Amino acid sequence: MYVLIYYIFGYRKTVVINNLAIAFPEKSNEDRIRIAKQFYKNFIDTFIETIKLFSASEEFIRERFLINPEVLNQVYRSGKKVQVHLGHNFNWELASLAVCSMSPFVFLAVYMPIDNKPIDRIFKKLRSRTGAIFIPATDVRNSLLQHRTEQYLLALIADQVPGNLNKAYWLNFFGRPTPFVQGPERGAMAGNIPVVFAAISKVKRGYYACRLELVTQNPGIMEHGELTRMYRDFLEEVIRKNPDMWLWSHRRWKRDWKPEYLSRWIDHSPAPDS
Per-residue pLDDT tens digits for 56-95 = 999 999 999 999 999 999 999 999 999 999 999 999 999 9
Determine, yes or no, domain membership for 211.
Answer: yes
In this structure, are residues 37 and 6 in contact, taking their beta carbons and an 8 Å threshold? yes
What is the residue range of 129's domain?
61-242
Determine, yes or no, domain membership for 143.
Answer: yes
Determine, yes or no, domain membership for 260.
Answer: no
- Tell which residue, 160, 142, 144, has the closest CA to residue 152: 144
Beta partners for residue 199, in sequence order:
211
Q: Structurally, how many domains does the chain consist of?
A: 1
Determine, yes or no, domain membership for 269.
Answer: no
Determine, yes or no, domain membership for 225.
Answer: yes
Query: Where do runs of H (alpha helix) occur along 28-138?
Result: 29-53, 58-63, 70-77, 92-102, 117-127
Per-residue pLDDT tens digits for 246-273 = 999 999 999 999 999 999 999 999 999 8
Which letter, b or e, does each residue of 134-147 get, where b requires 16 or more Cβ atoms within 10 Å of its Cβ? bbebeebeebbeee
pTM: 0.93
DSSP annotation of 46 reads: H
Per-residue pLDDT tens digits for 109-157 = 988 778 888 888 888 888 889 999 988 888 888 889 999 999 999 999 9
- Tell which residue, 235, 250, 247, 248, has the closest CA to residue 92: 247
